[in-house]
Chains A and B, each alone.
Chain A
Amino acid sequence: MEGPLIRFTSLDWFWAGAFLLLMVGGAFFFYRLARRSESDFFLAGRRLPWWLPASSVFSTHTATDTPMWVTGVIYAHGYRGLWYTFFTAWTAIGSFVSARIFRRSLAYSQAEWQIMRFGGFGAELLRGWLAGWQVFMNMFILGWVGMAMGKVGALVFGWPVWVGLVFPTLVTASYTLAAGYWGVVMGDFLQGIVAIFAILMVSLVGIMAVGGPAELTSRLVEMGEGWRMDAFAFTGMFTGEFPAAWWLTMLVIAVVGGFGMGTSIDWYPEAQRIQSAGSVRDASYGIWAGGAITLIRNGFWAASILAFFVLAPDIANVADYELGWFRLGFELLPAGLIGVFFAAILAIHLSTISSHLNLGALYFTRDLYQRYVRPDADEKTLVWVGRLATAVLLLGSFFYGMMMQEITRWLIFALWLMMAGIWLPNILQVVWWRFNAWGYLSSWMANLGVAWLVVWVLPAFGVFPPLPDYLQFWLLMALGAVVFFPITFLTKPEEMDHLVRYYLQTRPLGWWGPVHAEAVRRGLMDEEITARAAPRPLVKRTWTAAEAEEWTREDWIVIVLSPLVMAFFMVGVASLLLLRPGGILLTTLALLGSGAMYWVIDPKLRAVSAEYEQRQAKYLAELERGVRWEREARVPQPGPAGAGREV
């Protein structure tokens, strides 16, 4: 192993220690709030303003391995590598569709949402299935991210890998155990500020080390590498190392995936942030802003990695050039600021570890222990079970980090590609009333089998050659559909009583006509679609509660604008940092688009939120009765119009 990359001065240790104390101390401060209830320990009491979930989204998805991974794809592919990171753009549509629907369900987790959307035995099996999946996945992510910190510690300080894996994670666990999600989200806010500061600082220092944006651009052109500044430098439609077909597949996965729930691995932590928001409006803005900041961050990183490429263009080994961003910081910053930079690395590590510790514990406590082992457990017991689950996840993550490095490496790949078989079902469960628990469960089962066939068995036996990843995605999706569509139609729809209850509470987008008609027939809602029926302006800015609950033109305007704005931000900021005209244009368009979206959707979100918050307490009481297996209130049958509206 090589010796340490840097030597800390006293000033560096001072700043690193001071920032660590601030970040950890700030999180501990909320210990008293976390111990009040399960809702406080896992959702901060559902009272957060939008900017706290937003900073938590950004901080959680800025992990120790993220700069390595982003550096790797930008160094290898130039700005077109930015599209690898664009999966975050599921938040573009998700913020205004799936986040709104999920927030209204009030489910603690995606597993709990399953028994609200589906009913009976099948829904219970799905809840257990998703809870088991998420307990494992959070433990695995903790191990993976912890190992990345171990590698950074080894390269920077010459520490044994286990030191970086264990000690920073133990620090995080201390405040996560004590302060639960309150500690996570407040820590994320402080850590996010430190991380943003470091990312901006290192990017600018890296560009200036080459001689500034103009010099960086001309050096790339002189080297014959000018294509690296073009995010659309594809090598053909289906040919070469970067075909446009791959890019289109990624766009579809990310952008269309926003209509569903669980189409991205990031959905699961975001679901917790959606529920911790104080209102539907806060949830939408929190997820959107978190996603947008994450993509802008990628633009900053990309520019600095191009600078690193100019400074060190001939690195062939992936493991070496992946450390480019860390090298820029540690080699170019002056004494003192190196300590701040190290504090930022700790910040991005702490924020990711704390989120996944608390999220894994949530699935274990709420969806497995409380639902299936001790439905009558009191709040104090549940908080302590949450802490115990946090500790068990912590120990499990050390095992995965140390013992399963190779498999975890490829499981990262499996997270987005191999889940192709459930990508479409994850959307259908949100937008199509007829999709049922058995169809969804069968898609999960089928996905494992067809993944074995397509990814290993058939190529290994020479039936066909290993396929490019984007072709694997479409093939797996099609083969999964061959299984889950017949099973859906061969089994009964969910009970109409259950669907009407879910429809009234969440008002989902999509093909829900029969359920809507049944709710009208029972006198639970008006038949007339008020916002669409009357003469109206192009963009309506005054809403009644009933009008705002419907999906209208305003929603579709932001659904179309939002992915464009996010793409323009990401590519625009990366180009702007090189002072390219296209960068100025795209960034300006992104800013104007953001303003237009706010102008269009904010009045409606305010009306939805105000109306829904009045009913929330009743729904929450039902949710708590449900988790304890107490009988649900009966949905009224047809009667005089309006007779059943109190349900």
Chain B
Amino acid sequence: MDEGLVTVIGMSIAYAASFLGMALAWYGWKKRRGEEEK
């Protein structure tokens, strides 16, 4: 496989994990805000 393509695919997989972490932070923030409003 082309070296450049392999590099950016690998990088994209790492970014997918980052998006998951960010989604969890979003969920935690919304949950916390909801509790404060109650």
Q: How far is the CA of A128 from the CA of B25 in the complex (A)?
A: 5
Chain B CB within 8 A of A29 CB: no
- B24 to chain A minimum Cβ distance, whole angstroms, is 5
Instruction: Label chain A's interface by main secondary structure.
Output: helix
Cα(A296)–Cα(B1), bound, Å: 37
Known: A368-B24, A371-B28, A406-B1. A129 touches B7 (CB 8 A): no
Nearest CB on A from B8, distance (A): 5
Interface set, chain A 110-139, CB cutoff 8 A to B: 121, 124-125, 127-133, 135-137
Residue of A nearest to B12 (CB): A448
B21 to chain A, nearest CB (A): 2
Q: How far is the CB of B31 from chain A (nearest CB, A)?
A: 8
| Interface assignment of A413: CB less than 8 Å from any CB of chain B | yes
A405 to B18, CA, bound (A): 21
Residues of B within 8 A of A406 (CB): 1, 6
28 A-B residue pairs with Cβ-Cβ distance under 8 Å, sorted by A, are: A121-B29, A124-B29, A125-B25, A128-B21, A128-B24, A128-B26, A131-B21, A132-B20, A132-B24, A133-B14, A133-B21, A135-B21, A140-B14, A368-B24, A371-B28, A372-B29, A373-B24, A407-B9, A407-B13, A408-B10, A409-B6, A410-B7, A411-B7, A414-B7, A418-B8, A418-B11, A448-B12, A456-B2
Complex-state Cα separation, A131 to B14, whole angstroms: 11
Q: How large is the interface on A (under 10, 10 to 19, 20 to 34, 35 or more residues)?
A: 35 or more
Chain B residues lying within 8 Å of A16, measured Cβ to Cβ, are none
Query: What is the CA–CA distance of A125 and B18 in the complex, to the nearest angstrom?
Result: 10
A426 to chain B, nearest CB (A): 15
B34 CB-CB contact with A under 8 Å: no
Tell whether, in the assembled complex, residue A124 and residue B28 are in contact, meaning their CB atoms are under 8 Å apart: yes
Q: How far is the CA of A410 from the CA of B11 in the complex (A)?
A: 9
Given A410-B10, A451-B11, A629-B32; 14 other pairs, CB 8 A cutoff: A129-B18, A129-B25, A131-B25, A132-B22, A133-B17, A133-B21, A140-B14, A367-B21, A371-B25, A372-B28, A406-B1, A410-B7, A451-B8, A452-B12
Interface string of B26-38 (1 = CB under 8 A from A): 1111001000000
Tell me which of A129, A367, A373, A414 contacts B10 (CB under 8 A).
Answer: A414
CB distance B21 to A129 under 8 Å?
Answer: yes
Q: How far is the CA of A107 from the CA of B14 in the complex (A)?
A: 23
Q: A133-B17, A140-B14, A411-B14 are in contact. Are A372 and B25 (CB under 8 A)?
A: yes
**Please, which residues of chain A bring their CB within 8 A of the CB of B18?**
129-130, 132-133, 136, 444
The number of inter-chain residue pairs (CB within 8 angstroms) is 107
Quick one: which of B5, B6, B10, B32 has the most chain A CB within 10 A?
A: B10
Q: Is A525 an interface residue (CB 8 A)?
A: no
Give the 7 A-B CB pairs with smallest separation, nearest first.
Answer: A132-B21, A128-B25, A372-B28, A136-B17, A411-B10, A456-B4, A128-B21
A475 to chain B, nearest CB (A): 13
Are B8 and A452 in contact, with the CB atoms below 8 A?
Answer: yes
- Asked if A407 and B17 make an inter-chain contact with CB atoms under 8 angstroms apart, the answer reads no
A367–B8 Cα distance when bound, in Å, is: 27
B4 and A455 contact, CB distance less than 8 A: yes
A171 cross-chain contacts in B, Cβ below 8 A: none
**Distance, CA A629 to CA B21, complexed state (A):** 18
Q: Smallest CB-CB separation from B36: which chain A residue?
A: A629
Within 8 Å by CB of A125, from B5, B7, B8, B26, lies B26
Contact with B along A430-465 (1 / 0, CB 8 A): 000000000000001000100110011001100000
Please, how many angstroms separate the alpha-carbon atoms of A413 and B28 in the complex? 34
Residue of A nearest to B27 (CB): A372
Judged by a CB distance under 8 angstroms, whether A466 is at the interface is: yes
A140–B14 Cα gap in the complex (Å)?
A: 9
Min C-beta distance of B35 to chain A, whole Å: 9
Set of chain A residues within 8 Å of B23, measured between Cβ atoms: 128
Q: State the Cβ distance, B10 to closest chain A Cβ, in Å.
A: 4
CA distance A448 to B16 in the complex (A): 11
Which chain A residue shows the least CB distance to B26? A125
Contacts of B17 in A (CB 8 A): 132-133, 135-136
